[in-house]
Amino acid sequence: MAIWIKLLERQRIDKAGVPKDYHPGDWVKIGTQQAARWIAEGVASAPSTQSGELYDDSGVMIRGTDGSVGALLDGSGVPHREESAMRFPWGKTCYWEPSLSLRTNLLPVGFQLLERWDVAAAIYDYDILACHVGTDEDRARTEAVTRDLRILCYDSRLVFVKRGVVGRRLLETWEREREGGGHELLAFLRAIYQTPCLLCALPATWVNPSAQR
């Protein structure tokens, strides 16, 4: 599928195999995946009337709130629901916990990644490992699952999941691991480890724009 976007920066785009220069302000019709990337990177913008195409069968499930956060996304064009139950309202769902500031321009990119991957989640921090968080008991429980604690954590506040057998298994395992209490990062780490899947690890900049390495 292709959509029209407005370029905010100069770009060279192949048209029928011939590279052509386009300038800020030019409108070009390109594939939604490339469009989503450029919009996320600030290279282009899309008219709001096309947001439905970027969010086709996709939306944000807001977790862990009193029901008042959804208003923040009203008018953004982003389909969203605010429920405590972990389920799949859409084919591609972003589970967002609002203690993390949501960068809505990244949402189309995350949803596009689910065309190829089962799950997409960002590295929490390149230097904070499982051995650095939680209690002794929590870490011991985690190590019994993940084999080693010298491993990265994923930020469970922003997780993209594709509907399907694997996605359902992940949500069930995640809920089960959370019920036992303990640190949220470790609960998600145990859940994702026990659900071998096509996991797209996103750079930490997705959840912490100042993360460099």
Partner 1 sequence: MVAYGEPARQEAAASIESLHRWHDWPVTVIGEPVDGASHLPYPDTDKGGRWAKVNLDKLSPYAETLYLDADTRVRQPIGAGFEILGDGWDMVCTTSQNQGGDWLWHIDAEDRDATLQEAGHMLQLGGGVFWFKRNARTTRLFEAWRAEWTRWRNQDQGALIRALHREPVRVWLLPRLWNGGAIVEHRFGKARRGTV
Q: Which residues bind partner 1 (CB under 8 A)?
A: 34, 37, 41, 109, 116-117, 123, 126-127, 129, 147-148, 150-152, 193-194, 196-205, 211-213
CB nearer to partner 1: pick between 83 and 148: 148
Q: How many CB atoms lie within 10 A of CB 75?
A: 8
Q: Which amino acid is at 137?
A: E
Q: How far is the CB of 176 from partner 1 (least distance, A)?
A: 17
Task: Tell the residue number behind the tokens 């405590």, with chain if given.
Answer: 84
Write 147-151 long-range contacts (CB < 8 A, 24+): 151/189
Q: How far is the CB of 68 from partner 1 (least distance, A)?
A: 34
Complex with partner 1: residue 49 or 212, whichever CB lies closer: 212
Sequence-ordered list of residues with C-beta below 8 angstroms from that of 104, at least 6 positions apart, any chain: 73, 76, 78
Question: In Å, what is the CA distance from 47 to each residue of 4, 5, 10?
Answer: 8, 7, 19
Nearest distance from residue 189's CB to partner 1, in Å?
Answer: 11
How many residues are recorded in the chain? Answer: 213
CA distance 55 to 170: 22
Which whole-number Å values give the CA distances from 202 to 5, 42, 159, 165, in the listed order? 24, 18, 10, 22
Task: Tell me the closest approach of the beta carbon of residue 203 to partner 1, in angstroms.
Answer: 5
In the bound state with partner 1, the residue whose beta carbon lies nearer, of 100 and 199, is: 199
Task: Work out how close the CB of 213 gets to partner 1 at its nearest, in angstroms, rounded to a whole number.
Answer: 5
Query: What is the DSSP-derived secondary structure letter of residue 50?
Result: G
Which of 127/137 has CB closer to partner 1?
127
Pick the closer one to partner 1 by CB: 85 or 131: 131
